[in-house]
Amino acid sequence: MNDTSAKAASRFALLLDTNAFIALEPTSPSFQADLPDAADLVRLAQQGDHRFYLSAGTAHDIDRDPQLDRRRANHALAGKYLHLDPIAPPGDLLEALGEPAPPPGRHSNNDVDLEMLAALWVGAVDFLVTQDNRLRRRGVRAGLGERVLTIVEAVAFLRRLTPRASTPPPAVTPVRTYNLDPHDPIFDSLREDYDGFDDWFAKVKIAPGRPSWVIEVEGGSYGALMIVKDEQAGTTPFPGKVLKLCTFKVAPHAFGRAYGELLLKALFGHMHAGAHDTVFVTTYPKQDRLIELLEDFGFVRHNAPRTDDEELILVKHRRPADPTETDPLAAHRRHGPPFIHPDARAFVVPVVPIWHDALFPDFTMGLGLWTGTHAYGNALRKAYVSGTNSRRIGAGDTVLFYRSADLRAVTVVGVVEDVHVSGDPESIRRFVGRRTVYTPRDLSLMALEHRELHAMIFRQDRMLDPPVSLRTLMLMGVLNGAPRSITEVDEGGRPWVHQQLAASQ
């Protein structure tokens, strides 16, 4: 690969939904609410030489505008952009969505949306940018959720691809509820959604208050907020020591930074330290982003609301572990983190310090301070890419991340969710999406060194405190020497690994 092709492989192709296109090119005041974020998106795309595209169906969306002058203006503005040829939805996409093929010649809004998802599915573009929650949910159903971004999320993602920041990372800060600022804008939507919110908030501020956590963003406002409460024994239908997640909110201007997963790290850490068995939350069915996030991390539906005004209860059982669960990944998702299935295979994964610091920023700052400048550092689901020749590792396996060079010790435990091997860096970058420490250019350079790249998505399970040294790993039969590539733990060392992990979960 020459320099020109390496540079091309560092670009992303972003398909703009009609609503995102109009945000970038507003033709009336009513369409200018998203203009500041849209301007950031254009600037970042220009800096990184990323490309915007419109689907062939965008013209049909524009034609549905009843205002003739605005319709003409939008058609003219659309001419500034590159356009994809029409893409028929493949059969496997329709099967994943559970939908029939649209009839030829029909160009309904649903049909145009399906064509945009088809562009993602076949790999014509890397990401779809949309403000349409219904389209995003459809993308999630097709397994494309990681590649369907709002404008704010696209801005956060492209900003990460600029030269690495040297500013201090934000942190989840624990604070008692009586020290929260009730005038922060993050509370506005909570007041709109919940009658009597201010009366409730006044009660939870009374000393000793409740545990809460905030993530402060630029200007000192709250980018995210979480409040919890210990429930009295016997007051809920749930077993063991029960925690209620009273408030869990990410501000709209902070979307795309994985602050939701960063709060979940703090939640699971609090539950582990407090020996809680169960956590539950009540919400409304319209909170689809929150529901998707919680279900992805092991919350299940306790009831089935019949209307949008009826509350949905989601619950997660950390303990007792389900003895019939034989799938290590499903068991971790349901009961962790931290939770490692006793039958899972284990692998040691070496990571050089510079990438270790980026992938696990919370390790360098200590167990009590959950930090992260970038989405991949904040997230509980992350990606790791290497040039290893190992092909044994797979979904559900335990990964022990070994910090090489300076520490020479296992520091972090994870559970593999998926693996993808390819000699094409574009295929790898689409697989890892927003969850990798590597920029597209990093991946292109790695592809020059190796015939194939090995990528895995994993879920962070826990930090080891203290880390386990190479000397101990060798004494206990886990390794024969310092790992140079992904190395499976020998049969003799696996029982010791599981014994140590079981003792701390």
Q: Is residue 323 within 8 Å of residue 342, measured between CB atoms?
A: no
| Positions of the chain with pLDDT under 70 | 1-10, 28-34, 162-170, 364-378, 437
What are the distances in angstroms from CA 400 to CA 111, 141, 350, 368, 470? 45, 31, 8, 21, 12
pLDDT tens for each residue of 433-485: 777 767 777 888 888 889 899 999 999 999 888 899 999 999 999 999 999 99
Characterize the bridge pairing of strands 398-403 and 278-283. unpaired
- pLDDT value, residue 31: 55
Residues 337 and 397: beta-carbon distance below 8 Å: no
Three-class secondary structure of residue 358 per DSSP: helix
Return the pLDDT at 164: 45
User: Dihedral angle at the C-alpha atoms of 199, 205, 210, 212, nearest 10 degrees?
Assistant: 90
Give the whole-angstrom CA distance, residue 338 versus residue 340: 7
Mean of the per-residue pLDDT values for the chain?
Answer: 87
Contact 133, 23 (CB under 8 A): no
Residue 407: name the closest of 363, 437, 346 by CA.
363
CA distance 139 to 136: 5
C-alpha angle with apex 371: 370 to 376, nearest 5 degrees?
Answer: 115
The full set of domain ranges for the chain reads 3-160, 172-320, 346-503
Looking at residue 102, what DSSP letter applies? P
* Chain segment 175-207, per-residue pLDDT in tens: 999 999 999 999 998 898 888 899 999 999 998
Q: Please state, in angstroms and rounded to a whole number, the distance separating the CA atoms of residues 498 and 343.
A: 9
Cα–Cα distance measured from residue 334 to residue 321, given in angstroms and rounded to the nearest whole number: 9
CATH number at 3-160: 3.40.50.1010
**The CATH number of 346-503 is which of 2.60.40.10, 3.40.140.10, 2.30.130.30, 1.10.3720.10?**
2.30.130.30
What type of residue is 142? Answer: A
Supply 333's token pair: 């998702």
The CATH class for the domain spanning 172-320 reads alpha beta
Q: Model's pTM, two decimal places?
A: 0.76
pLDDT digits (tens, 9 = 90+) for 478-502: 999 999 999 999 889 999 999 999 9
Give per-residue burial for 271-305: e unless 16+ CB within 10 Å, then b. bbeeebbbbbbebbeebebbbebbebbbbeeeeee
pLDDT digits (tens, 9 = 90+) for 337-382: 999 999 999 999 999 988 888 788 777 534 333 334 444 456 788 9
pLDDT number for residue 32: 58
